[in-house]
Structure 1
Amino acid sequence: MAGEKDLRKLLAGMSPQLNTGEYVFTVASDGRVPAGARPVVTVAEEEGLTLVLSKEDADRAGLAYEYVAGWITLRVHSALDAVGLTAAVAEALAGAGLSCNVVAGYHHDHLFVPHADAARALAALERLGD
């Protein structure tokens, strides 16, 4: 099924969902995911393999991190070439004074926001969808 491209429909159907837990960004400099770790995102960079994974997994593997995030999934199936969704989300969160790291999956967009402010970010996104 093709993803949605119409910005109005995307915003109305976002249905942001806060996933349980705390998530961190870290780097596996050897390019390998540590045994037992289950990253939700990986990005290959020249400096190493970026992992986004639960804080629990990072702690267990002894991985260093600086940023603890809440993970919000936009449940709408957005097309990868849709225009404006990321900008609208970023503007709403910036207007609330919140940082956001966006990762696009094939079916959904995923937002990593400061964990302490995740509920506030969710509320801002729900207002945006109204």
Structure 2
Amino acid sequence: MNTMSDNETVEKLKREMEEIKRAIGIEPDFRPLATVYNPASGIIVASVERYSSEVFERRLFFRHTSERVYRPIDTPAPDIHYDSLVTSATQPVIYYAVNSFIKREGIGGVQWRLVIDRQV
């Protein structure tokens, strides 16, 4: 018989989720957007986002299938964001778009650049 209330169960699940995020090396306030697997290299790449009224970040983390912890692909400047993951089924490559987010009082905008970068 379950003696935990619904609120206790939800809180327990939240704690477990935070523990998993810490264990895999991705900061807990990021939320997942997409994950791609490159079979030629055995690399998994996760696209994550952190968004609030003060902060907007999109980052990429990677790990080999034999590893548990993700590592950042890069540490970009605060206005640089990675997006739109694409991989090859036969080549050890990951492609992604790099953009800069510009926020001014009352408006926001994005400058897009496509970067073809062999990261694997």
TM-score by shorter chain over 0.5: no
Pick the structure with more strand per residue: 2
Higher Rg: 2
| TM interval, short-chain normalised | under 0.3
Question: Which gives a bigger RCO, structure 1 or 2 (Cα 8 Å, sep 6+)?
Answer: 1
Q: TM-score, normalised by structure 1?
A: 0.25
- In proportion to residue count, which structure has more helix? 1
